[in-house]
Amino acid sequence: MLLYVHVPFCVRKCGYCAFHSGPFSRDAAEAYVEMVLREMKAWGRTLGRVAVETVYFGGGTPSLLEPGQVEDLLQSAGACFNLDADAEITLEANPDSVLRPGFLGSIRRLGVNRLSLGVQSLQDDLLAMLGRPHDGRQARRSVQAARDSGFNLSLDLIWGLPGQTLKRWMDDLAEVAALAPEHLSCYGLSLEDGTSLARQVEEGDLDLPGEETQARMYLDGTQFLESVGYAHYEISSYARPGRKSRHNQGYWAGKDYLGFGPAAVSTIGDRRWSNPVAFEEYASVVTGGGGTNEVEVLSTQMRRQEMVMLALRTAGGLDLEKFKATTGTEFPWRHPAVEQLRSSGLVRHRDGHLQLTREGMLVSNSVIEMVLGIVDRMHADTV
Ligand code: SF4
């Protein structure tokens, strides 16, 4: 089992962000922690100290919590569940908030062993354009501070930004690689509906780099990271040997996960549910004061689709034996659309797996959609 704790506060909203988060205050954080502790206890009683291999504090900005609050949450996770002695415990953090005196040393001593820092860029004008609460200097200082505190360190970066050139992206990568984090997540900018950045681009106030430049950012960036020792193991993820994210790999392998906090999603077996987004409604569900989480029962078709989609995101790809065991049929290599994907160099058959090539990963959404369409039609033909 994987545990996810959603911490729904940020000091301010970044211009590109569509995640659920609201303004931070001490009182709101206290009320939130109290509710998550109650939620954990309730699930601990229901599931009976089930084994847990990873805990992930995501958000929002988990690094706005006080170390004492992280301690309460971790102690509760240990008391309510059977936390592995070597559990991976990750906390997402923003560079500005981890520079509070003593913060990193304290959470490291409490057992947080992996830090995921939202650096995004080292360049001040790009950070300001994104509405990030930190600048490049704070980003560099926070990476050094995380290094000094002994974390297994992951950095988030974004490519494809308005005003970013290929050279500026490669400069960021070179500087970041010299800081030697164990893991990097490099995301292509995604313009989310309703965000101020999407509006600025729609209205022509900001221009995205051209398609060709964006493709080079992904392909050249990946090649560079591989040349300095990072394995490209998922569309956006790069790791030094032995440093892949265990938590994310658990999601991609379809393991059960339990989410705590407002808007957190859980999946156990074929049941999936989301906690209410609004804190009051969430608290009402947790305290039994009314309301329930809406539970979705995942159909066989949905589970099969998800297995294919998640596996294709990884460099390892879709295990064709597992595919056959799940669907009862061989993967349709002779299907004309599969032939087309292969001859275009977007997918390949290697070591018993269907894999997206690097070029396929660049356009992963459309390739995965095509494969899912083929699998669904194939299934419809056999029932
Ligand atoms: S800090 Fe992260 S979660 Fe908060 S608004 Fe910015 S991108 Fe979104």
Chain segment 234-284, per-residue pLDDT in tens: 999 999 999 999 999 999 999 999 999 999 999 999 999 999 999 999 999
Confidence band of 293 (pLDDT split at 50, 70, 90): confident
- Which of residues 2 and 294 earns the better pLDDT score? 2
- Atom of ligand 1 at shortest distance to CA of 59? 3
What three-state secondary structure class fits 224?
Answer: helix
Q: Which residues line ligand 1 (CB under 6 A)?
A: 10, 13-14, 17, 19, 21, 59-61, 94, 118
Q: What is the mean pLDDT of the chain?
A: 95
Instruction: Tell the residue number behind the tokens 């209410």, with chain if given.
Output: 276
Contact criterion met (CB below 8 Å) for 58 and 65:
no
Q: How far apart are alpha carbons 176 and 158 in whole angstroms? A: 12
Q: How far apart are alpha carbons 65 and 59 in whole angstroms? A: 11
Alpha-carbon distances, residue 19 vs 7, 90, 263, 288, 326 (angstroms): 11, 18, 9, 26, 33
Contact criterion met (CB below 8 Å) for 346 and 360:
yes
Centroid of ligand 1 to alpha carbon of 380 (angstroms): 41
Alpha-carbon distances, residue 256 vs 53, 207, 361 (angstroms): 11, 41, 26
Q: What domains does the chain contain, in order, with CATH numbers?
A: 2-251 (3.20.20.70), 300-382 (1.10.10.920)
Chain segment 190-232, per-residue pLDDT in tens: 999 999 999 999 999 999 999 999 999 999 999 999 999 999 9
Exposure b/e, 168-207, CB count within 10 A at least 16 = b: bbbebbeebbebebbbbbbebbeeeeebebbebbeeeebe
- Atom of ligand 1 at shortest distance to CA of 18? 8
Tokens of 342: 């292969």
Centroid of ligand 1 to alpha carbon of 364 (angstroms): 25
Mutating to test ligand 1, I would choose from 13, 57, 185 the residue with most ligand atoms within 8 A of its C-beta, which is: 13
Chain segment 43-77, per-residue pLDDT in tens: 999 998 999 999 999 999 999 999 999 999 999 99
Chain segment 299-326, per-residue pLDDT in tens: 988 998 999 999 999 999 999 999 898 8
Q: How far apart are alpha carbons 282 and 274 in whole angstroms? A: 10
